Amino acid sequence: MATILLSAAGAAIGGSIGGTFLGVTAAALGKAAGGLIGQAIDNSLFASSTQTAGPRLDNLEVQKSAEGGGLPVVEGVARVAGQVIWATNLEEVTSTTSQGGKGGGGSVETTEYSYYANFAVALSDCATGPIRHFGRIWADGKLLDTSDLTIRFYTGSETQEPDALMVAKDGGAPAYRGVSYVVFERMNIEDFGRRLPNLTFELWGPPGEMEDLIRGVDMIPGATEFGYSPAILTKGGAGSTTRENAIRSAAKSDWANSLDLLQGVLPACDTVALVVSWFGTDLRAAHCQIEPRVETKEKHPSRAWTAGGLTRTSANMVSLVEGTPAFGSAPDDQSIMDAIADLKARGLRVVLYPFVMMDIPGDNTLPDLDGNIGQATYPWRGRIGPASADGAVAGQISALVGTAAPGHFSAGSGVPVYSGPAEWSFRRFILHLAALARNAGGVDAFLIGSELVDLTMATDTLGQYPFVDALVTLAGDVKTMLPAAQISYAADWSEYHSHRVGGEVHFHLDPLWSSANVDFIGIDNYLPLSDWRPGNTHTDYDPENGVTSVYSLDYLKGQIEGGEFWDYYYASQADRDTQTRTSIWDGAHGENWVFRQKAIRPWHGAAHHNRPGGVRDAAPTSWVPGSKPVWFTEFGCPSIHLGTNQPNVFYDPKTSESYMPHYSSGARDDFMQRQYIRAMLEWWGENGGAVLSTENAFVWSWDARPWPEYPRTNDLWSDGPNWRYGHWLNGRAGSTPAAEVIERRLNTHYDYAPAKVDLSQCYGQADGMVLAGPMSFRDMMGTWETALNLDASEVGGVLRVTSRASAAIVADYTLDHLVEDGTAALYTITRTSQEETPRVAVVSYSDTELDYEAGAARATIREKPGQAEASAELALVSDLERMTATAQTMLHRAGDEREKIKLTLPPSSQLKPGDVFGFTPKSGAKLRFIADEIVRGEARTVSAYLYTGTALSSVGGPIRPGLAHVTPPSETALPYLLDLPILPGLTMADHQGLAAFHAKPWPGGVDLYRSPSLETGYSLNLRTGLAATAGETVTAFPPGMPDTWSPETLEVELFAGSLVSRSKEDVLAGANAMAVEHSPDTWEVLQFRNAELIGANTWRLSGFLRGQLGTEWARSGEDLAAGARVVLLDSAVIPVDMQAEEIGRPFYWRALPSGKDHAEVTGQPHAFQGVGRRPYSPCHLKAALSGGGLSLSWIRRTRIEGDAWTNGEDVPLGEAFERYRVEIGPEAAPLITETVADATSLTGLDASALSGLQEIRVSQVSETYGPGTPARLSLVF
């Protein structure tokens, strides 16, 4: 059926909000208004009629969608279908081709019809804001490669103009302002059954406030071979060409897809710090090499990898972890230059960020800095330092830094060439990247290193820091190479300030910060913004001041110049566990900032006085207060529970540096990252002043690998699992926080004044949400309440939405606090039966990890005997892990809500819905309840549920394994043009050549085009859907023996396919035939009995029949060298379309995957020689010499139906006449030439003039080919 999908947004994401379940309040569920309309285009308009000229549609009209259909509102990211709002009649294009008939017969004329569609699809109502980014498109449920399509996207802004095609076709068109839509121009619909496919679209709608605050990002992964290349590169050999750096589209690189998403969801981001990694080899400074490395030697990309002057052959490989490279390759030099150019072309500032990754595997035997065997596994670069056994610090630093100079790197517009000393030093690394930046046209800023803490603090004498001196010199050298760039060093947050040892203080980096060649203070700022613990008994829990959640922005902002490293520090882990805090203060001089690592602003604005021996120098250092701005060259937070406790830690099991934040449960928490970034950027935006502008604060990190392919494709990118708890913004930026969705909905649809809404304690987010236009606010709130455990209430005319996890414990009540309400009891406690309490909860949602298809998360509490089940259908986009946590919360909350209390408080009570209070009943221990409903009258009648806190302990569920990378079909095809005898069982004329094709992965079909000229005139010759089993020999191949089972063996490596052993009988019946190329276009046909798999794609063959089908002549007397092409002669070998008179005529041939443009392929010359017509050599040639007379005899062979030979009779002649040519003597100048007709012998030939050793040759002569392959015999005369 030909249809256009106009289905509901709710259906597109797996259902509408709503559903009911026992034990959970109606407010916690909500009820959906339903989905949007869905309609189908009448299939009769696309019906096709079969005609001899080819299938053709009988009606070219496209029916538009009916008016009045609703559109969804997209918050965050989602996948929707939308509605067709405009279409033209289909465009029919005819193509007539003429081909010669098989076997030289008459021509065949074929007319084919193609159909193209112009149409527009409205996707979303943009009342709450325009679409930020258009992502992937699915057609009939399959990801659509848009590389060959003309598509225009309209975001739904209030200023968008009408589409030019719609105007041109109709003479005018609406702009559809406030509606996002997409226009397809001349979409070829052949692949969709000549109908419009069902299309769905990935959209990023309005996100939260964080996205508009981010001005800069650090671009990783740093170690990525061609991941920074804007241009698409390919890899593999001929016929196995696949995209190296374009996992999604044939027309857009991974880099381009990632940057497009970045600029879509982070529109204020105008700076990218491009992280480029080389690899450190040793923590001991004097032994550490810093060099580019490569992840594999076995790769053949379309552009050779080079980095720092190394090639894939000369570079060392990165280490392996369980057989997998621990890192990607160092970025290719040309890719870095191209990335710089592309970033500038996109209007972005570029910061080049050299980054040392330590490639020290776990099984190393290197001495550590103290001389113990075994250095830390894949350690932090900040641990490079002087070793105790290697002498003076200055000497060790000198060995690391090296002597490479700016003049050692060639200038120009290409990759710089190094001509300095043979060293892999720190200077060579930095200056090489500076040369790359210079040759690429410059960058806006350049970092001369980062976080080399143990090096900058390394000293033999406190106050003397040789590595800092080296950085000062290096900054000057880089400034000469990049005079327009701002230069600095990215210091760790623990490093930028000072070097404090005991009572001594040295502002060790001040010579660098004050250098005339350094333009700003670079800080990688991962200072903690919280000291939070589970529960509510820890020190930072402060309900009196409204601090009841680590998500509180006010709390987090208060920790920027407060809390740990400002007010106090922990002297030990034991002190941290007990929150025994030691105050930070300077009793001697009142300069508390000297000991406060968080005191960035005071440090920046003050003169710095060293304190050698604890005594404050009278004279300040060279630092001029406030002279240079601060940049946060990195800041960020892991997406993990309590990530703000330790923003600097990260999860990576392969490294010794892998940690979770203090007191973290280890649960994924994207909202924690969001709140951290908001707190940092909002606070510094308000308070940075002349110290720091947020345009110079770069969030770590954005990945150049495209989301969601990264992180899902774990077999392609092994660090994918680290993303879940890491610092990545990809896949998180553009999500939708509940508070912002609620606020936008109220403002847009209800004109609700901000003063009447309190969302300050509304915490949590989803990846996305799709709202039906008419959906009520109650229904929308039901989704959020269920998903995030929120409570909504109205207090004093203000709508208050709070997270139950942050509910404040405001009071403890006893019987004395209650007032009578006219009933006998002061309070009543009711409890529902356990049988009515759910033990299973199921949540339906749209699953991000399943490309937004419907997902279901399930949670159970087996130890409870209740038999009821709970279910909820949520219009949210999320994943299994987080929605399992929601299901767990539903069960815990249902368990709490079994027990309900009703009591009356005096009118003076300040208790509000959502508050937690304690109550001690007449008998028993104190219980906690959460207020659900409060009726105000002469007193306050309170209804509340039990509050145990168990609903807050959900940690999530299973994590789906990463997806296997599906390599896209090869974009090229390798043709084998074979001049072979007639193959038994194959329908072919004897003049036809043969062709077979290799492509891996097989693209489904291959087309072969032919032309008499190289550039133009190509026409389709054949199309095949069968891949050849082909490869090459990997061992030498002896000549062997024809006419018997030959004993040699041969090893072959197949590019694709497999081989099998066959019995003697099967081989004699024609099985296991293979062509082996002995010289260009000279093929031997052989057969084999045995095929043994001895390695990856490598087979050992034996049991040969050599020189089959008359090809014994192809063998030489020497071994055939390895590397010869082989093709299995099976059904994938087919005849080309050619006429007899085209034998020997040169043509150019283009082979490529079916449907591709053959103009992109260079023609390959080949002239078929009509080998199928060549007579076989006679056999059993015998000679008898008597006196001067010579007698010869032979037995003829046939190229046609030779297997029908029976009863000793001659085989079929196979020619128009029987004739033979006899030659004696040199082949180029025979001494005797005779013709023999209708006989297989020659007698009485006068040989008296011959002497010495002479060769006798007998060839059968064909009317259409001439003399065939001769039989040969040498005789002494």
920-935 mean pLDDT: 90
1272 forms beta bridges with 1257
In 3D, which of 878, 608, 833, 895 has the Cα closest to residue 731?
878
- Reported confidence tier of residue 37, pLDDT bands at 50, 70, 90: very low
C-alpha span between 682 and 694 (Å, rounded): 9
C-alpha span between 734 and 202 (Å, rounded): 12
SS (H, E, C) 229-276: CCCCCEECCCCCCEECCCCCCCCCCHHHHHHHHHHHHCCCCCEEEEEE
Question: Cβ distance 447 to 633 under 8 Å?
Answer: yes
Express each pLDDT in 971-981 by its tens digit.
889 999 999 99
**Proportion of the chain above pLDDT 70, given as a percent:** 92
pLDDT attached to residue 102 = 44
Residue 105 has pLDDT above 90, yes or no: no
Residue 114 has pLDDT above 90, yes or no: no
C-alpha span between 778 and 30 (Å, rounded): 6
DSSP state of 672: H
Residue with tokens 């800023």: 445
Q: Give the length of the chain.
A: 1277
pLDDT attached to residue 1206 = 63
- Reported confidence tier of residue 655, pLDDT bands at 50, 70, 90: very high
The amino acid sitting at 691 is V
- Reported confidence tier of residue 290, pLDDT bands at 50, 70, 90: very high
- Reported confidence tier of residue 36, pLDDT bands at 50, 70, 90: very low
Pinpoint the alpha helices (H) of 862-945: 880-896
- Of these ranges, 50-64, 474-488, 878-892, the one predicted with the greatest mean pLDDT is 474-488
Structurally, what CATH architecture does the domain formed by 974-1170 represent?
A: Beta Barrel (2.40)
List of E strands, 1187-1265: 1189-1195, 1219-1224, 1232-1237, 1241-1246, 1253-1262
More confidently predicted of 1214 and 14? 1214
Express each pLDDT in 60-98 by its tens digit.
444 345 556 679 999 999 999 989 999 999 999 887 655
Residue 630 has pLDDT above 90, yes or no: yes
The amino acid sitting at 647 is P
pLDDT attached to residue 923 = 82
Region of poorest pLDDT, from 491-495, 853-857, 1211-1215: 1211-1215
C-alpha span between 868 and 836 (Å, rounded): 6
C-alpha span between 837 and 867 (Å, rounded): 7
Q: What is the CATH number of domain 1174-1276?
A: 2.60.40.10
496-505 mean pLDDT: 95
Residue 41 has pLDDT above 50, yes or no: no
* Phi (first) and psi of residue 765, to 5 degrees: -155, 170
More confidently predicted of 543 and 58? 543
Region of poorest pLDDT, from 269-278, 431-440, 902-911: 902-911
pLDDT attached to residue 1160 = 85
Token pair listed for 1037 = 């191949």
- Reported confidence tier of residue 863, pLDDT bands at 50, 70, 90: low
DSSP state of 754: G
pLDDT attached to residue 330 = 98
Q: Structure pTM?
A: 0.86
In 3D, which of 885, 945, 970, 927 has the Cα closest to residue 1153?
970
How far, in Å, are 485, 799, 1063 from residue 28 at the CA level?
Answer: 56, 16, 72
List of E strands, 1043-1200: 1045-1046, 1050-1054, 1073-1079, 1082-1095, 1098-1108, 1125-1128, 1134-1135, 1147-1153, 1164-1166, 1179-1186, 1189-1195
Express each pLDDT in 1150-1180 by its tens digit.
999 998 889 989 999 999 999 999 999 999 9
Q: What share of the chain is helix, strand, coil (3-state, %, to 5)?
A: 20, 30, 50
Residue 413 has pLDDT above 70, yes or no: yes
621-628 mean pLDDT: 98
Q: Within a 10 A sphere around the Cβ of 473, how many other Cβ atoms? A: 13
Token pair listed for 711 = 């992180």
Stretch (H or E) spanning 747: helix 738-750
Residue 38 has pLDDT above 70, yes or no: no
Express each pLDDT in 361-400 by its tens digit.
999 999 999 999 999 999 999 999 999 999 999 999 999 9
**Proportion of the chain above pLDDT 90, given as a percent:** 77
Residue 1207 has pLDDT above 90, yes or no: no
More confidently predicted of 261 and 22? 261
Question: Cβ distance 861 to 891 under 8 Å?
Answer: yes
C-alpha span between 322 and 326 (Å, rounded): 9
Residue 409 has pLDDT above 50, yes or no: yes
C-alpha span between 786 and 1222 (Å, rounded): 97
In 3D, which of 380, 371, 425 has the Cα closest to residue 398?
425
pLDDT attached to residue 419 = 97
Angle at 463 between CA 461 and CA 467, to 5 degrees: 85
pLDDT attached to residue 504 = 95
pLDDT attached to residue 794 = 83
C-alpha span between 1168 and 1021 (Å, rounded): 14
Question: Cβ distance 1107 to 1074 under 8 Å?
Answer: no
The amino acid sitting at 1132 is A
525 forms beta bridges with 635
How far, in Å, are 396, 490, 518, 694, 1106 from residue 629 at the CA level?
Answer: 32, 13, 11, 11, 80
pLDDT attached to residue 191 = 86
* Phi (first) and psi of residue 319, to 5 degrees: -70, 170
Express each pLDDT in 942-991 by its tens digit.
999 999 875 565 566 777 777 767 778 888 899 999 999 999 989 999 99
Domain ranges of the chain: 37-70+82-197, 234-725, 974-1170, 1174-1276
Same fold, 234-725 and 974-1170: no
pLDDT attached to residue 522 = 98
pLDDT attached to residue 1220 = 96
Q: What is the CATH number of domain 234-725?
A: 3.20.20.80
More confidently predicted of 1202 and 953? 1202
282-289 mean pLDDT: 98
